[in-house]
Amino acid sequence: MQRQGKHRRAVVTGGAGFVGSHLCERLLDAGTEVVCVDNLATGSTANIERLADTGAFTFIEADTTHPLNVPGPVDAVFHLASAASPRDYLRLPVETLEAGSLGTRNALDLTVEKGARLVLASTSEVYGDPLEHPQRETYWGNVNPVGPRSVYDEAKRYAEALATAFHRAYGTDVGIARIFNSYGPRMRGDDGRAIPTFVRQALDGDPITVSGDGLQTRSLCYVEDTVEGLLALAAADITGPVNIGSPHELSMLRLAELVRGLAGSDSEITFIGRPVDDPRFRRPDTRLAAEALGWRPRVSMEEGLRRTIDWFAARRTEEAAAAAAAEAARAAAAQAASAPVGGAS
């Protein structure tokens, strides 16, 4: 069932990150006032700096593991604050567990205080290395509770359990989104995830490093579609969990070839070791999202990759220009310092 009316004021935790900054932008475009709460652990103010000009955007630098103080009315809380890339959460293991546990508790308390709806950004990682394919929301998952990835997987499983308990015990209005791999502009080139890594390597002419035999699969969803899925869940009247992802599954080797082709690169493709507990297959069953939310991804893999590659290429050009300007300024300053000082004779 759809709710009436749009959200007037939303909190986006993790709004300075990759998905969160696109969500903030999209909410502002729809006329929703946005309060972004982020501690910048893995996000950046560069992702949101132009949003301040809208006059409807507030940034609060805060850690969600502390109680959240957001003055004024709020009718939706999008809870995205958490390290998300394996490189980040392996570097921040305890912080990641606390973001999923304490952070989700504080986001729920804020939701109750404001009488809002919470959309929880959960993940396909709750399915672990799945024994069921494709993954339906009814599948309980296959997660190693003490493996290195458990800091993320178990944090999200706990966050889902806590949100569901709030709903059952207090009637809190929650919607759980199980997001499958999402990609697009504003991913960090060094975050270790496959697409930014492959794109950076292809643009630099470096070898494209595929892990394992490259036959492991993922289903990759362009960020614009992911954001539409979160908004559809916010506007719906269901608790979920609901898979938000693309049903288009491809192997990592195929992905590397696609990126190389679209980037016009002649990088060779090489193979490196596979991370511990890396899932072999990933593909969402998206029937519930289609039926309950009327949502399905729209942007094709080729189109999404093209936009992502263009964004990374433009950033490289900007960074090169900024580095050249800084070098020229340094050289000019050094020359001025070494020039003989002219004095009155």
Q: How far is the CB of 38 from ligand NAD (least distance, A)?
A: 4
DSSP output for 124-177: GGGGBS-SSSSBPTT---B--TTSTTHHHHHHHHHHHHHHHHHHHHH--EEEEE
- Distance CA(132)–CA(139), nearest Å, equals 7
Rule CB under 6 A: choose which of 32, 82, 106, 265 binds ligand NAD. 82
Contacts of 324 (CB under 8 A, 6+ apart): none
Alpha-carbon torsion angle 81, 82, 84, 85, nearest 10? 120
Among the listed residues 153, 96, 121, the one whose alpha carbon sits nearest the alpha carbon of residue 12: 121
- Distance CA(227)–CA(89), nearest Å, equals 22
Rule CB under 6 A: choose which of 7, 10, 12, 17 binds ligand NAD. 17
Rule CB under 6 A: choose which of 11, 12, 19, 252 binds ligand NAD. 19
Are 265 and 205 spatial neighbours (Cβ–Cβ below 8 Å)? yes
Are 125 and 183 spatial neighbours (Cβ–Cβ below 8 Å)? no
Nearer to ligand NAD (CB atom), residue 32 or residue 104: 104
What 3-state class would DSSP assign to 191? coil
Which of the stretches 68-76, 106-114, 179-187, 253-261 binds ligand NAD when contact is defined by CB under 6 A?
179-187
Q: Is 78 in the site for ligand NAD (CB under 6 A)?
A: no
Nearer to ligand NAD (CB atom), residue 20 or residue 128: 20
Neighbours of 94 (CB within 10 A): 8
For the chain, counts of helices (H) and of strands (E): 9, 13
Contacts of 144 (CB under 8 A, 6+ apart): 128, 129, 150, 277
Chain mean position to CA 274: 22
State the binding string over 83-102 for ligand NAD (x if CB under 6 A, else -). xx---x----------x---
For residue 156, give both structure tokens.
């999200």
Rule CB under 6 A: choose which of 10, 24, 35, 41 binds ligand NAD. 41
Which of the stretches 59-67, 126-134, 210-218, 285-293 binds ligand NAD when contact is defined by CB under 6 A?
59-67
Q: Is 80 in the site for ligand NAD (CB under 6 A)?
A: yes
Q: How far is the CB of 336 from ligand NAD (least distance, A)?
A: 40
Q: Is 246 in the site for ligand NAD (CB under 6 A)?
A: no
Which of the stretches 33-41, 70-78, 246-254, 263-271 binds ligand NAD when contact is defined by CB under 6 A?
33-41
Q: How far is the CB of 231 from ligand NAD (least distance, A)?
A: 14
State the binding string over 125-164 for ligand NAD (x if CB under 6 A, else -). ----------------------------------------
Are 282 and 124 spatial neighbours (Cβ–Cβ below 8 Å)? yes
Q: Is 18 in the site for ligand NAD (CB under 6 A)?
A: yes
Among the listed residues 136, 128, 10, the one whose alpha carbon sits nearest the alpha carbon of residue 70: 10
Nearer to ligand NAD (CB atom), residue 92 or residue 253: 92
Task: Looking at 186-240, list the stretches that DSSP marks H as alpha helix, in order from N- to C-terminal side.
Answer: 194-204, 223-235
Q: Is 39 in the site for ligand NAD (CB under 6 A)?
A: yes
Rule CB under 6 A: choose which of 25, 34, 64, 194 binds ligand NAD. 64
Q: Is 20 in the site for ligand NAD (CB under 6 A)?
A: yes
**Residues annotated as part of the active site:** 152
Count residues near ligand NAD (CB under 6 A). 29
Are 24 and 78 spatial neighbours (Cβ–Cβ below 8 Å)? no
Q: Say how many residues make up the chain.
A: 345
> Which residues would be at the binding site for ligand NAD (CB under 6 A)?
13-14, 16-20, 38-43, 63-65, 80-84, 88, 99, 103, 121, 123, 179, 181-182
